[in-house]
Amino acid sequence: MMRFSETTQAFYDDTFEENAAIDDIPTDVREISLEQYQDFYSAINSACRVYVKKDKFIISTPRPGTLCEWDDSKKTWFMSDEAKVQQQALDVANAEKQRQSLIDEATQIISLLQTKVMIGRTLMDTEKQTLNIWLDYIDQLNLVNVSVAPDINWPEKPE
């Protein structure tokens, strides 16, 4: 027979009960079917919570993010104020990384043209246009306000 505890989000079988002290077994352990065991096991490994509502087991939506916590009383995921500040800092850091990655990509594209200019070779008109378009793109990237991450409207990459 298999049992499940909402509190611990863990499974207990007859062997556990035989070898455990009574204090080791959560008070909310309830008997479950093999199908429920499989469903709950899969749900827990997919970052969901299994909870009881009106005497029925329910599987939550997956945890929305690593900084989200489970509210046992409301049976929902939430983010504390401290976690929201941490999330904003992560979003800004990720936006900075993305901006640098886009700048690096643009720099690689224009490096050959810049090399031609540095050694005194004449650029064709189309090459001058391409160079200016990509330099303008880098300027636009540098103007992006990453402090509003994740709500950033990134400039469109030239073709």
Domain membership of residue 158 (yes or no) is: no
The whole domain housing 118 covers: 81-148
What's the total number of domains in the chain? 2
Mean pLDDT of 25-44: 94
Do 138 and 85 share a structural domain? yes
Tell me how far apart the alpha carbons of residues 63 and 61 are, in angstroms, rounded to a whole number. Answer: 6
Do 86 and 60 share a structural domain? no
For the ranges 9-18, 31-40, 144-153, the lowest mean pLDDT is seen at 9-18
- Could you read off the pLDDT of 58-116 as tens digits, one per residue? 999 999 999 999 999 999 999 999 999 999 999 999 999 999 999 999 999 999 888 99
Tell me how far apart the alpha carbons of residues 29 and 53 are, in angstroms, rounded to a whole number. Answer: 15
Tell me how far apart the alpha carbons of residues 119 and 125 are, in angstroms, rounded to a whole number. Answer: 17
Tell me how far apart the alpha carbons of residues 90 and 149 are, in angstroms, rounded to a whole number. Answer: 9
Helix and strand totals (H; E) in the chain: 4, 7
pLDDT at 13: 83
pLDDT at 21: 60
Do 72 and 40 share a structural domain? yes
Do 110 and 127 share a structural domain? yes
Cis peptide before 64 (omega within 30 of 0): no
Domain membership of residue 120 (yes or no) is: yes
Do 73 and 11 share a structural domain? yes
Domain membership of residue 129 (yes or no) is: yes
Do 116 and 68 share a structural domain? no
Do 70 and 10 share a structural domain? yes
